[in-house]
């Protein structure tokens, strides 16, 4: 059994094909997927989607690259998180300096707000970092993000960054990027991450793993990420599926894994 710890099924290109995607998830033994929030205007639709399907769960938050969007505060994030048992995480949040230039004080303030909401609610935080690892880790330390913990999603950074996040109690999640032919450095990081701190994801509709690279991604393809992680760790793919599934439920512990999933 497998889980997709990070996807965007509410994006239009996936939402319009949801019945087919859920069927493929069932065929590929993907029992749950976490549908991750990127802004507040689209969040009611995201929540409605996950509440209609046992296999889906939600986070609440605002992506660091969304500049022209309503800004949340701690109380609002906490209230939305408490509004449904399906909301199991805060985020995605973090820092993204790749396409945006200083001043980015608003981005760093937003990140701090999300960490504080994580501590307020006791829900783990989903962290996005791109071209901003040093500042991301600094704010995580300053705001005591490790008090609740969370996951560094779609990890593409170096081993020292992974080690620092692990030291804060965070999990490391790998997407289809780890399957790419030119991802040797990232594969070495994935090999070094302890098995009990590993997660797998699709970040769909993006980053489809080999052999689907360049095509639209969806949670049914997370098994190919698991296959690559299994090869890197010298494990059977089903063993990695079990390990990463156990890790998923340990981190997102608001989910009752004993409830049978009906797709």
pLDDT in tens, 75-105: 999 999 999 999 999 999 999 999 888 999 9
**Mean of pLDDT over the chain:** 97
Q: Tell me how far apart the alpha carbons of residues 5 and 21 are, in angstroms, rounded to a whole number.
A: 16
Instruction: Tell me the pLDDT band of 205, cut-offs 50, 70 and 90.
Output: very high
Instruction: Tell me the pLDDT band of 258, cut-offs 50, 70 and 90.
Output: confident
The whole domain housing 101 covers: 37-147
Q: What is the pTM of this model?
A: 0.97
Give the pLDDT mean for 150-168.
98
Q: Tell me how far apart the alpha carbons of residues 94 and 91 are, in angstroms, rounded to a whole number.
A: 8
At 99 the pLDDT is 84
- Contacts of residues 241-244 at CB distance under 8 Å and 24 or more positions apart, as own/partner, are 241/1, 241/2, 241/29, 242/1, 243/195, 243/196, 243/198, 244/2, 244/3, 244/5, 244/198, 244/199, 244/200
Give the pLDDT mean for 58-86.
97
Question: Does position 179 have pLDDT exceeding 90, yes or no?
Answer: yes
Q: Tell me how far apart the alpha carbons of residues 85 and 57 are, in angstroms, rounded to a whole number.
A: 9
In contact, 195 and 226? CB cutoff 8 Å: no
Question: Does position 223 have pLDDT exceeding 90, yes or no?
Answer: yes
Question: Does position 227 have pLDDT exceeding 90, yes or no?
Answer: yes
- Assigned domain for 116 exists: yes
- Assigned domain for 65 exists: yes
- Assigned domain for 232 exists: no
Domain count, the chain: 1
Among 136, 131, 123, which residue's Cα sits nearest to residue 87?
123
Q: Tell me how far apart the alpha carbons of residues 64 and 50 are, in angstroms, rounded to a whole number.
A: 23
Of all residues in the chain, the percent with pLDDT exceeding 90 is: 97
- Assigned domain for 124 exists: yes
- Assigned domain for 75 exists: yes
Question: Does position 186 have pLDDT exceeding 80, yes or no?
Answer: yes
Question: Does position 263 have pLDDT exceeding 80, yes or no?
Answer: no
Give the pLDDT mean for 218-245.
98
- Assigned domain for 258 exists: no
At 98 the pLDDT is 95
Domain of 71, CATH number, reads 3.20.20.140
- Assigned domain for 157 exists: no
At 113 the pLDDT is 98
In contact, 34 and 252? CB cutoff 8 Å: yes
Phi and psi angles of residue 217, each rounded to the nearest 5 degrees, phi first: -100, 160
Instruction: Tell me the pLDDT band of 260, cut-offs 50, 70 and 90.
Output: confident
Tell me whether strands 87-96 and 150-152 are parallel, antiparallel or unpaired. unpaired
Of all residues in the chain, the percent with pLDDT exceeding 70 is: 100
- Assigned domain for 158 exists: no
Does residue 211 have a cis bond before it (omega within 30 degrees)? yes
Phi and psi angles of residue 24, each rounded to the nearest 5 degrees, phi first: -70, -35
* Residues recorded for the chain: 263
Tens of pLDDT, residue by residue over 119-130, are 999 999 999 999
């Amino acid at each position: 059994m497998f889980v997709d710890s990070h996807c965007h099924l509410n994006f239009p290109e996936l939402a319009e094909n949801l019945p087919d995607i859920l069927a493929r998830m069932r065929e590929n033994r993907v029992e749950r997927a976490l549908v991750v929030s990127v802004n507040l205007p689209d969040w009611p639709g995201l929540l409605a989607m996950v509440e209609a399907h046992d296999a889906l769960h939600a986070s609440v938050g605002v992506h660091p690259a969304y500049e022209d969007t309503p800004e949340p505060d701690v109380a609002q994030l906490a209230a939305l998180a408490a509004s449904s048992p399906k909301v199991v995480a805060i985020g995605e949040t973090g820092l993204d300096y790749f396409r945006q230039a200083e001043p980015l004080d608003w981005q760093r303030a937003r990140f701090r707000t999300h960490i504080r909401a994580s501590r307020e609610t006791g829900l783990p935080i989903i962290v996005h970092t791109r071209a901003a690892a040093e500042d991301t880790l600094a704010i995580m330390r300053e705001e005591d993000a490790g008090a609740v913990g969370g996951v560094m999603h779609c990890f593409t950074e170096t081993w020292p960054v992974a080690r620092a996040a692990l030291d804060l109690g965070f999990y490391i999640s790998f997407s289809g990027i780890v399957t790419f032919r030119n991802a040797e450095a990232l594969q070495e990081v994935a090999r070094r991450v302890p098995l009990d701190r590993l997660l797998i994801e699709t970040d769909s509709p993006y980053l489809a793993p080999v052999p689907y690279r360049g095509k639209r991604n969806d949670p049914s393809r997370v098994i190919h990420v698991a296959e690559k992680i299994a090869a890197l760790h010298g494990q059977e793919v089903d063993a990695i599926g079990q390990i990463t599934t156990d890790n998923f439920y340990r981190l997102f512990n608001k989910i009752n894994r004993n409830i049978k999933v009906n797709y």
